[in-house]
Structure 1
Amino acid sequence: MESIDVSRRALLKGSLRHERALRPPWAVSEALFLQLCTRCGECQGACETQIISRGDGGYPKIDFSRGECTFCQACVDSCPEGALAALGKSQGAVPWHHVANIGQECLGIKGVYCKSCGEVCEVGAISFTFGSGRVPVPNVMS
């Protein structure tokens, strides 16, 4: 199967802002993933919650608007190419290496009353620290 340059494809489609797709859990590094993945769709078919969809170039990506990941590891077990590492949860590997944090551009940190991030966070992972005479400051639960 031919190799696809995802960044070049984005340029040709007029998508100049490149956001890296969130790959299925326990995916190897992005560069290695793009080399190993043959876009066969096995992981997509194995996903019990159907949150794996085809992204740019036909590569699998996670779409949390469809549901949540149960970490069942069916996608890992179905991957014939090793693009999803066999070091799943049984060996202590983390499914994703993403960390949520509150940046300096946060209005609450700048002293402006705002709780919009907490209002839209469906999983309730954002709490607020209240202080006398202060605006609420968001905290991401770990």
Structure 2
Amino acid sequence: MSHQTSRRHFLRGGFNRPAVMRPLGALAPMTFEDTCTKCGDCARACPEGIIFRDDEGFPVVNLRRGECTFCNACVEACEPAALVAGTTWDWRAGATDQCLSKTGVQCRTCEDHCDARAIRFKLLVGGRSEPVFDRDACTGCGACAAPCPVNAIHFTHISQPQEDSTC
């Protein structure tokens, strides 16, 4: 998983905190945290029910609860404009070593639920197979995560947003 260092985390000693999955359209981390009022309107507007609050009260997306349909309801509900339409979703799926197929158990649940067809299985010797994720085809929607019986799907932030600093 990629890491980000925001001003808030730096001042609190969190130099290498994992990147946080914010709702679709979230501004760059420092700007987002300065703009978001923690009102919860985005979570209430989400028809999929996948937006929750983190320890600090900011909205985060939990794709283990369901998939994002990219409907923009959260963006439309955001009065302070911490979520902006037209931004890309820079998260992509992958599988951990807990994946049942990697351990020899026949499972293709993630592939069956992927409408983008971004997951294929590479056959290995010994009756095992390994999921291969096509980063270009993957939308990061999370359709593969919730049905995974062992929570082996993880998401990686594929690009770090560049922020202007005024030091």
Question: For the structure 1 residues 58 and 121, does the alpha-carbon distance in structure 2 shift closer, same or farther, using more than 3 Å as the test?
Answer: same
User: Relative contact order (alpha carbons < 8 A, sep ≥ 6): 1 or 2 greater?
Assistant: 2
2:72/2:85 contact within 8 Å kept = no
Q: Is residue 5 from structure 1 mapped to residue 8 from structure 2 by the alignment? A: yes
Kept in 2, the 8 Å contact 1:46–1:74? The answer is: yes
- 1:85–1:57 distance in 2 versus 1, CA, 3 Å: same
| RMSD across aligned positions (CA) | 3.6
Structure 1 counterpart of 2:4? none
Query: Shift of the alpha carbon at 1:18?
Result: 2.7
1:101, distance to aligned residue in structure 2 (A): 6.1
Any unmatched runs of 5+ in structure 1? 88-92, 107-112
Q: Percent identity?
A: 34
- Alignment of structure 1 residues 1-142 onto 2, 5 Å: 5-6=8-9, 18-87=17-86, 93-94=87-88, 96-100=89-93, 119=108, 121=110, 123-124=113-114, 125-130=118-123, 136=129, 138-141=131-134, 142=137
Three-state SS of the structure 2 residue aligned to 1:127 is: strand
TM-score by length of 2: 0.55
> Closer, same or farther in 2 for the Cα pair 1:9/1:64, shift >3 Å?
farther
CA contact (8 A) 1:52 1:62 kept: yes
State TM-score, norm by structure 1. Answer: 0.63
Q: Please tell me the residue identity of whatever aligns with 1:81.
A: P
Q: Return closer, same or farther for 1:10/1:47 CA change in 2, 3 Å cut-off.
A: farther
Q: Report which of the two has the higher share of helix.
A: 1
The SS at the match of 2:18 is coil
Q: Quick one: distance in 2 between partners of 1:67 and 1:6?
A: 28
From the two aligned structures, give the one with the greater strand fraction.
2
* Structure showing greater Rg: 1
Q: Equivalent residue of 1:31, what SS?
A: helix
What's the CA shift for 1:79? 0.5
Aligned length, in residue pairs: 121
